[in-house]
Structure 1
């Protein structure tokens, strides 16, 4: 069958013929190298995914592919058909947090498994725009330092500020709308508060918010990425350790 066939996916394919089980995870600014466990021999970390990377990863026959971060705009984005093709080979594909959540929401009916609140929001139609997960960040050699904030994280943070009494719910909603109006490459908390002041949103609550940040910040993308990692670890747990060998 062709790469785009929806009839074969990871939950109903032929038995695997290799041990131990392994995973390849694509991550960058959401779960940077400093936070990626390096002592787990069953997991291989790769940079943010781009078009063709999932296909090439599938050729190495891992048990699992996890997609967190991915490039877009100036780099071709990971293709739906290569994910479908990987699943048709019996590889379990998980997605969360960023481009992984978007692709999982689009392909979960074909077997891709989405993890976390961001995936659920896209799946349920609460969120629709790609810019919700987009961030501007530094290069790989510097650890992908974030230069802007993801809209999904701003939403979660302002919701928490309202729950904590830092902001009135209506002010939190106004600030969320201000953040959404900004281009993703300009989306920072400072920019939001400056735009809010210019828009005459009450001055005192934003000052309270500035004092509450950054300790009160809810990094929803990282929360979901860590949930994906936990899920993949559980999926691999039933397999023999990396030092095991199989004979037949």
Structure 2
């Protein structure tokens, strides 16, 4: 049974394959999930997807995939967002980040957005995700490295940064400029170097573990209860996606 996973900066394909035998594809853009679903995989795992300059994975292609019997799971990044938005229709969310969006504790896309390098450099992250900053600062507070006020101030400073500019170096520098205790900031710097929490990676791995368990238990075709509407916008997405498929040869 084929499983397709869209992952990039959150998890590398090499790391993913150690957890789950699947087809690993780059971060998903609009139309990619539709094209993957045409191959009738038993499941698709959406972890990473594009946010800004490239059109994002559409809700309609996920809904269409599920009507074709394909289970669609989401976690960590774009997958967590789409899973929270489509949970009522049967998309299956996994992990703490998904749960935070589903409950309304998190609302903004920029919580999971990062900039990253290209395929030739393994989609290496070039900024830090807000959810990772929150998780690490909370861990530092639990460890007694930061007090509640310092943790809250650093969270607010990080949230005020444009997502592409978020980094620990920039954040701790802003903390210094805001007058936070120098010794506390140095302790925080050491904590980040040694014990940084990568919440997105943890949730991505959890998605793979969840899928593996479900496959081992037996995963029948997805059943849906909604009626899929072939709207003009959907037909535009579908035609555009199909235009990039390899040409079929006559035999």
If the length of structure 1 is used for normalisation, what is the TM-score? 0.85
Output the aligned Cα RMSD: 1.5
Counterpart of 1:189 (choices 164, 168, 173) is 168
Check the 8 A contact 1:158/1:172 in 2, yes or no.
yes
Query: Partner residue of 1:202?
Result: 181
The separation in 2 between residues aligned to 1:131 and 1:39, in whole angstroms, is: 28
Counterpart of 1:35 (choices 8, 11, 15) is 15
More helix by share: 2
SS of 1:37 mapped into structure 2: helix
The separation in 2 between residues aligned to 1:156 and 1:128, in whole angstroms, is: 16
Question: Are residue 87 (structure 1) and residue 66 (structure 2) matched?
Answer: yes
Structure 2 unmatched ranges of 5 or more: 220-251
Check the 8 A contact 2:158/2:171 in 1, yes or no.
yes
Deviation per CA, 1:197-235: give whole Å up to 9, x if none: 111122221111112222210100000000000011112
Query: Partner residue of 2:99?
Result: 120
The Cα of 1:61 is off from its aligned counterpart by 0.2
User: For this pair of structures, how many residues does the alignment match?
Assistant: 219
Query: Partner residue of 1:67?
Result: 46
The separation in 2 between residues aligned to 1:32 and 1:144, in whole angstroms, is: 8
Structure 1 unmatched ranges of 5 or more: 1-20, 241-248
Query: Partner residue of 2:236?
Result: none
Query: Partner residue of 1:16?
Result: none
The Cα of 1:33 is off from its aligned counterpart by 2.8
Deviation per CA, 1:130-189: give whole Å up to 9, x if none: 000011111111111111100000000000000001111211111111111111111000
